[in-house]
Amino acid sequence: MPVFECRLQRTRLILMFLAAISGSCAAPTARVPTPTSEELAGERMRQIDIFVRSYLDYENRLLNHGHRILVGAAPLCEKKGYVHGIALFNPAAIKDSDMRNMFMQRISATDSQDGLYVTRTGSVDVSADNLLPIGSRVVEIDGTAVSDVRDAQRRLAGSEQATIAYVHDGSVRTMVHRGTLGCDYELVFSPTDEPNAWTDGTRIVVTRGLMRFVQNDSELAFVVAHELAHLVRGHLEATRRNAVVGGFIGLIFDALVLAAGVDTGGAFARAGAEMAVQTYSADFEREADYVSLYILHRSGYDIGAVAEFWRRYGSTVDPASIKYARTHPTSPERFLILDKTKAEIQDKVARGLPVLPEEKSATDVGSPTPAGSPSSGEAS
């Protein structure tokens, strides 16, 4: 049988099979209204518009409070830069044309060329002559052409008074934008619904789910301050070092067992790295909670409005955290740490003492805090 006829026969058999399956399946019996293609297109654009407006609102709120935290914590940071409060986006990064066009429409973009467009402007210095128009297209920073968002942000962070060339209403203009010294980390809004926040060492990422969960500006600022505290206290670097040390110790055991004739496949090295990471994981979280309240105070937020965050989190988002802890303290412990830290800060303010985190004595450093014990940051 020729190859063509074989393929034709196989196609017929497949179609007959599909027809038999669909014909034998139960079908809905209700007469459901059928939207027209025009109605579907209109509703699709309305939902895209809702998403874009929501995205910009969430991002703007995160940056408003996040930039304030970065500036307030500047004396505690080793890695410093200038906070300009400018948010940029490149429409070429959005593949869906309807979504891309809606973003451009919502920021009132003044042209449609590729490049970096301003979605938020302002900084701690929000005087009228320090505001870059939203929707304008940035073409140069300090005389250098820019087309990448992260490169542009790095250039801004390195310049106290950045000369910015931008296109607005069809004409190229320049302004000198003043930044404010702060911690040099990027703030990123993630439109995902899991209530979460994290840092990778250069960025602080906050999800839409967590921004929906927080009930006031102080709680949102606390979320940013907590992640910043991990960076300020060097927790990521310490965790990596611990993993290397634990893995090396495990590797020695792998070699000893191998010498006895048993190949573990690196099991001890992997287990050693994991155990070393977890040894101080909960203590790092305790310290981040503790230091974050000092950052909040330095940034001018109400420190009495955030302890409730952990009480509500434990009772609604993660009930298991009420009683059990592995890499993080339990939510009751976290609530009490913040409550005690608030009292500690208020006492220092009342007595006119420097409002800085308390440090462990040399004899206390190097031993993990057991669950339920006083936090590593509590005042002596």
* Residue 116: strand, helix, or coil: strand
| Whether the model pTM is above 0.85 | no
- Residue 33: DSSP 8-state: -
Report the alpha-carbon angle 83-110-163, nearest 5. 35
Enter the DSSP assignment of 81.
E
Domain boundaries, the chain: 43-184, 214-351
The amino acid at residue 40 is: L
Tens-level pLDDT at each residue, the chain (380 residues) = 555 566 667 777 777 766 666 666 777 889 999 999 999 999 999 999 999 999 999 999 999 999 999 999 999 999 999 999 999 999 999 999 999 999 999 999 978 888 999 999 865 555 556 688 999 999 999 999 999 999 999 999 999 999 999 999 889 999 999 999 999 999 999 999 999 999 999 999 999 999 999 999 999 999 999 999 999 988 777 667 766 666 657 667 566 666 777 677 777 567 655 654 455 578 889 999 999 999 999 999 999 888 888 888 878 776 766 655 566 788 888 989 999 999 999 999 999 999 999 988 765 655 555 444 433 333 22
Q: Among 201, 222, 233, 239, which Cα is nearest to 360's? A: 233
Q: What angle do CA 123, 81, 222 make, to 5 degrees?
A: 65
Q: In whole angstroms, give the CA distance from residue 8 to residue 16.
A: 12
Q: Which of 239, 212, 210, 244 is nearest to 226 (CA)?
A: 210
CATH 2.10.109.10 is the classification of domain 43-184: no
Q: Hunting for tokens 């330095």 — which residue is that? A: 298
